């Protein structure tokens, strides 16, 4: 069994950054609704600025740095994927559709056979 060491050490400054970013998000939404009488430009401007600053504050926190590093690593892995050619993708899609149709017919036939056996032969019910 492999042991995984999970370290969740957060400094006070990091917690403050996360709290500030959360407060900025909430403040942005509050400002959006409080500025309803000032026009759409003021509403959306306040919301977008507050969200942008919140993202910036989150990005400099330890959690934000880990999220950005995860995104970079994920993008590197996506670049390593060998994607199928168009012809292969169409063939595989056709195989999947054909299998679904065959399974649907099989299940329909099984259902109708069991219906006939139970209702007509065993119970003698006529529809």
Q: Which residues contact 113 (CB under 8 A, 6 or more apart)?
A: none
Q: What tokens does 87 get?
A: 């012809």
Mean pLDDT across 72-95: 95
Whether the CB-CB separation of 60 and 89 falls below 8 Å is answered with no
56/101 Cα distance (integer angstroms): 51
63/79 Cα distance (integer angstroms): 25
Q: Quick count: other Cβ atoms within 10 Å of Cβ 15?
A: 13
pLDDT above 90 as % of the chain: 78
DSSP 8-state assignment for residue 84? P
Domain map of the chain by residue range?
11-81, 84-127
pLDDT of residue 121: 84
pLDDT above 70 as % of the chain: 91
């Amino acid at each position: 069994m492999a042991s995984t060491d999970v370290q969740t050490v957060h400094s006070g400054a990091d917690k403050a950054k996360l709290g500030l970013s959360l407060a900025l998000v909430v403040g942005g939404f509050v400002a959006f609704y409080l500025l309803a009488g000032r026009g759409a430009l003021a509403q959306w401007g306040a919301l977008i600025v507050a969200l942008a600053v919140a993202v910036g504050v989150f990005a400099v926190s330890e959690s934000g740095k880990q999220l950005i590093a995860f995104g970079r690593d994920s993008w590197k892995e996506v670049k390593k994927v060998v994607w199928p050619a168009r012809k292969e993708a169409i063939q595989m899609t056709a195989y999947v559709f054909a299998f679904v149709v065959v399974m649907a017919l099989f299940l329909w036939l099984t259902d109708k056979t069991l219906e006939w056996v139970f209702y007509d032969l065993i119970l003698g019910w006529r529809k």
